Structure formats: structure tokens, C-alpha cells
Amino acid sequence: MKVEVTWVEGMEFRSDSESGHSWNMDASVDVGGSDRGPRPTELLLSAVGGCTGIDIVSILKKMQQPLTGLSITVSGERAEEHPRRFTHIKLHYVVTGDGLSEERVARAVELSVEKYCSVLSSLNAEVTYDFEVVQS
């Protein structure tokens, strides 16, 4: 998996994914940005919510549960010192559907958070990285 991130101007960057999607990210005005896109940290929280949401919908479908709505609020607490990483992430799920089993919904959430969500798993793991700089 790969994305290409390109500087636009100021603190704004455009990201293009292998799957053909694009989005812009920007910093807030108070740190020199133009506020023309979400912050990278907001996208990280969004990725957590999207990842668990996709898992939960898939799991509940396999369980033949009548899910008609799912809303996820993802909030994060960050460290005071740089690099200001997330120290706690809270997920609040609101599910809708006549006849949903509370036990099956809870199990679907548990499976997503503890087993299937690759975004959350990556946040919990020690991820290695390398980099190279090419001047053009």
C-alpha cells in the first residue's frame, strides 16, 4: 500500500492513494496553515473510525443482524510534549436496527477493536520505518 503526498503551498499537502482517491491536508491558521483541509491527526482518528466501522458492518452482516445505521465518534487525547502523540483514543458507537442483538453488536465491536482493525493494530504495534532523501 502506498500514498503520494505532495506539498501544495504554505502548510497544505495533497495526498493521492493507489486506489485513485485524493484529499488535501493542512495546518490550522495559528501554526501557519490556511485551514483548507483536515489535520493529519484528524485523518488518523478518521481512519480508526472508518476501519472499525467497516469491520463492524461486515461482521454484523455475517451474523445476519439488521443493522440500519452506525455512527462512530472518535476522540483522542494527546501528549503535551512533542511529538504530541495520541495517548488515549475513545470510540463511541451508536448503532441502529430493529431487533439488533446487544451481545452480537458488542462482539462485533470487540472483534474489530481487538482483532481485525489494522489501523488500531498499527497504533498498538512497534512499527519500523526507514527513509531516504533525494534532492532534485
* pLDDT digits 0-9 by tens, 22-42: 999 999 999 999 999 999 999
Please say whether the dihedral angle defined by the alpha carbons of residues 54, 118, 112 and 63, taken in this order, is positive or negative. Answer: positive
Average pLDDT, the chain: 96
Q: In a 10 Å sphere around its CB, with 0-12 CB exposed, 13-18 middle and 19+ buried, how is residue 51 labelled?
A: buried
Domain boundaries, the chain: 1-38, 39-136
CA 41 centroid distance within chain: 9
Mean pLDDT of 62-81: 97
Radius of gyration, alpha carbons of the chain: 18
State the CATH class of domain 39-136: alpha beta
Task: Please provide the CATH number assigned to the domain covering 1-38.
Answer: 2.20.25
pLDDT confidence tier of residue 125, bands split at 50, 70 and 90: confident
| Global pTM exceeds 0.85 | yes
